[in-house]
């Protein structure tokens, strides 16, 4: 990827293929450049494929809740370029690397984080961030390689963006504060714009 792995990840948990392009266009208009479709959404690989065809050269399209190497393969085949997980599984990370994908496993302890990096992870997902909090991330920054992208995910919104950025987050992943099934498409662009502006100003 030419651009650094940083900024706001839009997590579209529950999105359906029929609406995903309209949602994607609304998010792009609000400044979002990374979109994640969790695999526990309806027909997620269809949604990833549609997004990849529409925005492949413009956005980083990824999949979340990727739990097995077989799912990594399906993400790659659908055109996704990033795999995220709530946990660290070395086999998932290795398969992601084998398929040329960026990998961001979920970690909650330094031990998990260092193991993930040793397995080849491209970034670390502090999860659940709202429970771990900015002080944990700040402490990690003191011991992990400084170039390691670290994202705060879980309970992220306008109310805590600045605290996590000040603690050293490279970016954040936000779901329900941006998108939930049934959200009007017209609401997405202003929500996305507020989050992107909030992150930039933090």
Annotated active-site residue 43? The verdict is no
Written as one string, the DSSP assignment of 116-184 is HHHHT-S-EEETTHHHH-HHHHHHHHTTS-TT--EEEESS-STTTHHHHHHHT-SEEEE-TTT--TT--
Cβ count within 10 A of residue 163: 16
Q: CA 139, CA 127: separation in Å to the nearest integer? A: 15
Q: Which is the catalytic residue, given 43, 54, 71, 125?
A: 125
Q: Give yes or no for a contact between 9 and 173, defined as CB atoms under 8 angstroms apart.
A: yes
Annotated active-site residue 112? The verdict is no
Q: Which is the catalytic residue, given 36, 71, 112, 165?
A: 36
Say which DSSP state 109 is in. Answer: S
Q: CA 112, CA 118: separation in Å to the nearest integer? A: 10
Q: Which residues are catalytic?
A: 36, 125
């Amino acid at each position: 990827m030419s651009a650094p792995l940083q900024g706001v990840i839009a997590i579209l948990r529950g999105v359906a293929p029929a609406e995903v392009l309209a949602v994607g266009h609304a998010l792009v208009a609000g400044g979002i450049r990374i979109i994640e479709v969790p695999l526990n959404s309806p027909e997620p690989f269809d949604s990833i494929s549609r997004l990849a065809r529409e925005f492949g050269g413009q956005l980083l399209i990824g999949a979340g809740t990727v739990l097995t190497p077989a799912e990594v393969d399906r993400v790659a085949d659908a055109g996704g370029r990033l795999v995220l997980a709530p946990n660290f599984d070395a086999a998932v990370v290795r398969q992601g690397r084998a398929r040329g994908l960026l990998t961001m496993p979920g970690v909650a302890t330094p031990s998990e984080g260092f193991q993930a990096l040793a397995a080849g992870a491209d970034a670390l997902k502090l999860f659940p961030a709202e429970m771990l909090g900015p002080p944990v991330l700040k402490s990690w920054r003191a011991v992990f390689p400084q170039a390691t992208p670290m994202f705060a995910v879980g309970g992220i919104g306008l109310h805590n963006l600045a605290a996590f950025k000040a603690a050293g987050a490279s970016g954040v992943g936000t779901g329900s504060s941006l998108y939930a099934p049934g959200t009007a498409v017209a609401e997405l662009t202003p929500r996305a714009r507020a989050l992107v502006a909030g992150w930039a100003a933090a």
